[in-house]
Structure 1
Amino acid sequence: MKGVIFRGLEALVIEKCGMAAWDDLLEKNAPQGRVYISAESYPDEEIVGLAQDVATALSMSMPEVL
């Protein structure tokens, strides 16, 4: 998955829940020290885990989150 998708998800979480919430999601779902760069590609499993947790936290569906 392209990093731009991760960056959009990051913006949504920070806007709705704050930076600490994004940091917590990364700690749970991404390799330690991961930084998402828009033009890079990352494993799909990472976006799925992040998106599922965001959907739950914000009471949104996966399509709404992505």
Structure 2
Amino acid sequence: MELKYLQTLKTILETGSFLGAARKLNYTQSTVTFQIQQLEQELSVKLFEKIGREMVLTQAGEDILP
């Protein structure tokens, strides 16, 4: 598991969006999306659910956070 993927997840939660995390980490938004997809595959859980235009952390996503 890549630690940068967990850092990206943490930054999404801090900024409240994938775009905010991308800006803060100097990544493209597609890089952030890719990293979260990779993390979801490695953990075998869905971390975010799209509701309207917003991405919301799932219960499984909350459960993996310390």
Do they superpose with TM above 0.5? Answer: no
TM-score, reference length from structure 2: 0.36
Q: Which has the higher contact order (CA 8 A, sep 6+)?
A: 1
- Kindly indicate which of the two structures has a greater share of residues assigned to helix: 1
